[in-house]
Structure 1
Amino acid sequence: MSRFTPKVVTANRLIEGDAVYLCADDRWSVHHHEAELIEDEAHAQMRLLHANAQRGVVVGAYLADARPGPNGPEPVHFRERFRTVGPSNYPHGKQADQAHV
Protein backbone atom coordinates (compact mmCIF):
# COMPACT_ATOMS: atom_id res chain seq x y z
CA MET A 1 0.00 0.00 0.00
CA SER A 2 1.37 3.39 -0.97
CA ARG A 3 1.49 6.32 1.40
CA PHE A 4 -1.00 9.12 0.75
CA THR A 5 0.54 12.41 -0.34
CA PRO A 6 -1.13 15.41 1.38
CA LYS A 7 -3.48 17.39 -0.86
CA VAL A 8 -5.44 20.60 -1.14
CA VAL A 9 -8.66 21.03 -3.09
CA THR A 10 -8.28 23.61 -5.83
CA ALA A 11 -10.58 24.93 -8.55
CA ASN A 12 -11.26 28.05 -10.57
CA ARG A 13 -13.81 30.61 -9.45
CA LEU A 14 -16.66 30.47 -11.94
CA ILE A 15 -17.06 34.19 -12.67
CA GLU A 16 -13.54 35.62 -12.32
CA GLY A 17 -11.57 32.50 -13.26
CA ASP A 18 -9.15 32.90 -10.32
CA ALA A 19 -7.46 29.82 -8.93
CA VAL A 20 -9.02 29.20 -5.52
CA TYR A 21 -8.42 26.79 -2.67
CA LEU A 22 -10.93 25.15 -0.33
CA CYS A 23 -10.38 26.08 3.31
CA ALA A 24 -11.28 23.98 6.36
CA ASP A 25 -14.21 26.33 7.09
CA ASP A 26 -15.68 25.66 3.60
CA ARG A 27 -14.85 29.07 2.13
CA TRP A 28 -12.77 29.50 -1.03
CA SER A 29 -9.57 31.54 -0.83
CA VAL A 30 -7.25 32.85 -3.53
CA HIS A 31 -4.36 32.15 -1.11
CA HIS A 32 -2.88 28.66 -1.26
CA HIS A 33 -1.52 28.91 2.29
CA GLU A 34 -5.09 29.25 3.63
CA ALA A 35 -6.20 25.95 2.09
CA GLU A 36 -7.08 22.94 4.18
CA LEU A 37 -4.14 20.51 4.05
CA ILE A 38 -5.73 17.09 3.77
CA GLU A 39 -3.67 14.16 4.96
CA ASP A 40 -6.27 11.38 4.68
CA GLU A 41 -7.34 9.94 1.32
CA ALA A 42 -10.98 9.32 2.29
CA HIS A 43 -11.31 12.86 3.67
CA ALA A 44 -9.73 14.23 0.47
CA GLN A 45 -12.33 12.46 -1.66
CA MET A 46 -15.16 13.79 0.53
CA ARG A 47 -13.82 17.35 0.26
CA LEU A 48 -13.52 16.98 -3.51
CA LEU A 49 -17.15 15.84 -3.71
CA HIS A 50 -18.11 18.89 -1.63
CA ALA A 51 -16.20 21.16 -4.03
CA ASN A 52 -17.72 19.58 -7.14
CA ALA A 53 -21.21 20.15 -5.73
CA GLN A 54 -20.59 23.94 -5.84
CA ARG A 55 -21.15 24.32 -9.59
CA GLY A 56 -22.46 27.85 -9.22
CA VAL A 57 -19.26 28.97 -7.48
CA VAL A 58 -16.30 27.00 -8.89
CA VAL A 59 -15.39 24.80 -11.83
CA GLY A 60 -12.71 22.19 -12.45
CA ALA A 61 -12.10 21.15 -8.85
CA TYR A 62 -9.30 18.67 -8.26
CA LEU A 63 -6.85 17.47 -5.62
CA ALA A 64 -3.35 18.92 -5.83
CA ASP A 65 -0.30 17.64 -3.98
CA ALA A 66 0.86 19.94 -1.20
CA ARG A 67 3.19 19.91 1.77
CA PRO A 68 3.08 21.56 5.17
CA GLY A 69 4.89 24.89 5.32
CA PRO A 70 5.58 27.44 8.04
CA ASN A 71 2.58 29.57 6.97
CA GLY A 72 0.26 26.81 5.75
CA PRO A 73 0.20 24.41 2.82
CA GLU A 74 2.74 24.91 0.05
CA PRO A 75 2.41 23.66 -3.53
CA VAL A 76 4.65 20.78 -4.56
CA HIS A 77 4.57 20.97 -8.36
CA PHE A 78 5.53 23.89 -10.61
CA ARG A 79 2.04 24.06 -12.14
CA GLU A 80 0.49 24.63 -8.75
CA ARG A 81 3.13 27.18 -7.72
CA PHE A 82 2.41 29.03 -10.99
CA ARG A 83 -1.36 28.99 -10.31
CA THR A 84 -0.77 30.73 -6.96
CA VAL A 85 0.41 33.90 -8.73
CA GLY A 86 -2.35 34.02 -11.32
CA PRO A 87 -2.16 34.97 -14.99
CA SER A 88 1.38 35.89 -16.00
CA ASN A 89 0.30 38.80 -18.19
CA TYR A 90 -0.93 41.01 -15.34
CA PRO A 91 1.53 43.28 -13.45
CA HIS A 92 -0.91 43.60 -10.54
CA GLY A 93 -2.88 41.40 -8.17
CA LYS A 94 -1.14 38.23 -7.05
CA GLN A 95 2.02 39.09 -9.02
CA ALA A 96 2.46 42.32 -7.08
CA ASP A 97 2.26 40.35 -3.82
CA GLN A 98 5.07 37.93 -4.69
CA ALA A 99 8.62 38.51 -5.86
CA HIS A 100 8.84 35.27 -7.82
CA VAL A 101 7.16 31.95 -8.49
Structure 2
Amino acid sequence: MKVVTANRLIDGIVVFLGRSQRWVEQIDDVSPFEDDAAIEAALAYAARCVEAREIVEPYAIDVRADKHGVTPVRLREAIRAKGPTVRLDLGKQAERATVDTAA
Protein backbone atom coordinates (compact mmCIF):
# COMPACT_ATOMS: atom_id res chain seq x y z
CA MET A 1 0.00 0.00 0.00
CA LYS A 2 1.14 3.52 -0.76
CA VAL A 3 0.21 7.15 -0.30
CA VAL A 4 1.63 10.23 -2.00
CA THR A 5 3.40 12.79 0.16
CA ALA A 6 4.72 16.27 -0.59
CA ASN A 7 5.25 19.62 1.06
CA ARG A 8 2.65 22.36 0.75
CA LEU A 9 4.30 25.27 -1.02
CA ILE A 10 2.72 28.11 0.97
CA ASP A 11 4.02 26.96 4.38
CA GLY A 12 6.23 23.87 3.89
CA ILE A 13 3.93 21.58 5.90
CA VAL A 14 4.12 17.87 5.02
CA VAL A 15 0.89 16.79 3.31
CA PHE A 16 -0.56 13.49 2.12
CA LEU A 17 -2.80 12.52 -0.78
CA GLY A 18 -5.18 9.63 -0.66
CA ARG A 19 -7.98 8.45 -2.87
CA SER A 20 -9.96 11.67 -2.29
CA GLN A 21 -7.49 13.77 -4.35
CA ARG A 22 -7.34 16.16 -1.41
CA TRP A 23 -4.12 17.15 0.34
CA VAL A 24 -4.34 16.68 4.10
CA GLU A 25 -1.88 17.22 6.95
CA GLN A 26 -2.57 14.01 8.89
CA ILE A 27 -1.61 10.68 7.33
CA ASP A 28 -4.49 8.99 9.17
CA ASP A 29 -6.90 11.10 7.09
CA VAL A 30 -6.03 9.33 3.81
CA SER A 31 -6.95 5.96 2.34
CA PRO A 32 -3.88 4.24 0.87
CA PHE A 33 -3.66 3.08 -2.74
CA GLU A 34 -3.35 -0.63 -3.26
CA ASP A 35 -2.47 -0.91 -6.96
CA ASP A 36 0.13 0.56 -9.31
CA ALA A 37 -2.40 2.17 -11.66
CA ALA A 38 -3.98 4.12 -8.81
CA ILE A 39 -0.63 5.35 -7.50
CA GLU A 40 0.42 6.42 -11.01
CA ALA A 41 -2.83 8.38 -11.38
CA ALA A 42 -2.21 9.99 -7.97
CA LEU A 43 1.32 10.98 -8.99
CA ALA A 44 -0.06 12.48 -12.22
CA TYR A 45 -2.55 14.50 -10.13
CA ALA A 46 0.34 15.56 -7.85
CA ALA A 47 2.31 16.72 -10.89
CA ARG A 48 -0.61 18.96 -11.84
CA CYS A 49 -0.61 20.32 -8.27
CA VAL A 50 3.10 21.13 -8.65
CA GLU A 51 2.33 23.04 -11.85
CA ALA A 52 -0.43 24.90 -9.97
CA ARG A 53 2.15 25.75 -7.27
CA GLU A 54 0.20 24.05 -4.48
CA ILE A 55 2.87 21.52 -3.47
CA VAL A 56 6.51 20.61 -4.13
CA GLU A 57 8.40 17.31 -4.45
CA PRO A 58 5.58 14.75 -4.46
CA TYR A 59 6.50 11.06 -4.22
CA ALA A 60 4.92 7.77 -3.19
CA ILE A 61 5.73 6.12 0.12
CA ASP A 62 5.03 2.62 1.41
CA VAL A 63 2.58 2.43 4.31
CA ARG A 64 0.79 -0.18 6.36
CA ALA A 65 -2.71 0.19 7.72
CA ASP A 66 -4.17 -1.43 10.82
CA LYS A 67 -6.68 -0.64 13.54
CA HIS A 68 -4.39 2.17 14.78
CA GLY A 69 -4.35 3.97 11.42
CA VAL A 70 -1.92 4.43 8.55
CA THR A 71 1.80 4.18 9.34
CA PRO A 72 4.75 4.81 7.01
CA VAL A 73 7.09 1.83 6.66
CA ARG A 74 10.34 3.83 6.65
CA LEU A 75 11.51 5.79 9.72
CA ARG A 76 12.18 8.95 7.68
CA GLU A 77 8.59 9.02 6.52
CA ALA A 78 7.26 8.25 10.02
CA ILE A 79 9.15 11.30 11.30
CA ARG A 80 7.77 13.45 8.45
CA ALA A 81 4.25 12.20 9.25
CA LYS A 82 4.28 12.58 13.03
CA GLY A 83 7.09 14.91 14.03
CA PRO A 84 10.31 14.74 16.08
CA THR A 85 11.15 11.46 17.79
CA VAL A 86 12.70 13.07 20.86
CA ARG A 87 9.91 15.48 21.80
CA LEU A 88 6.37 14.10 21.77
CA ASP A 89 5.06 17.55 22.67
CA LEU A 90 6.11 18.92 19.24
CA GLY A 91 4.96 18.20 15.72
CA LYS A 92 1.84 16.49 14.49
CA GLN A 93 1.82 13.93 17.29
CA ALA A 94 1.35 16.80 19.77
CA GLU A 95 -1.49 18.25 17.69
CA ARG A 96 -3.21 14.86 17.50
CA ALA A 97 -2.82 14.30 21.27
CA THR A 98 -4.50 17.65 21.94
CA VAL A 99 -7.42 16.73 19.66
CA ASP A 100 -7.71 13.23 21.21
CA THR A 101 -7.78 14.49 24.80
CA ALA A 102 -10.30 17.23 23.99
CA ALA A 103 -12.79 14.73 22.58
Distance 1:33 1:98 in 2: 10
Q: Structure 1: which 5+ residue stretches go unaligned?
A: 1-5
The one-letter amino acid paired with 1:25 is S
Query: Equivalent of 1:68, from 56, 59, 65?
Result: 65
The one-letter amino acid paired with 1:48 is L
Distance 2:63 2:93 in 1: 21
**Cα deviation, residue 94, structure 1:** 1.6
Partner of 1:38 in structure 2?
33
Q: Structure 2: which 5+ residue stretches go unaligned?
A: 98-103
Contact 1:19–1:86 (8 Å) recurs in 2? no
More helix by share: 2
Partner of 2:94 in structure 1?
96
- Greater relative contact order structure (CA < 8 Å, 6+ sep): 1
**Cα deviation, residue 93, structure 1:** 4.6
**Cα deviation, residue 24, structure 1:** 2.0
**Cα deviation, residue 61, structure 1:** 0.3
**Percent of residue pairs bearing the same amino acid type:** 39
TM-score, normalisation: structure 2: 0.77
Contact 1:65–1:76 (8 Å) recurs in 2? yes
Q: Secondary structure at the match of 1:73?
A: strand
Sort the Cα spacing of 1:72 and 1:85 in 2 relative to 1 into closer, same or farther, 3 A.
closer
Whether 1:59 aligns to 2:56 is: yes
Task: Tell me the matched-pair count.
Answer: 94
Distance 2:94 2:66 in 1: 22
Partner of 1:3 in structure 2?
none
Note the aligned Cα RMSD (angstroms).
Answer: 2.4
**Cα deviation, residue 71, structure 1:** 4.3
The one-letter amino acid paired with 2:72 is P
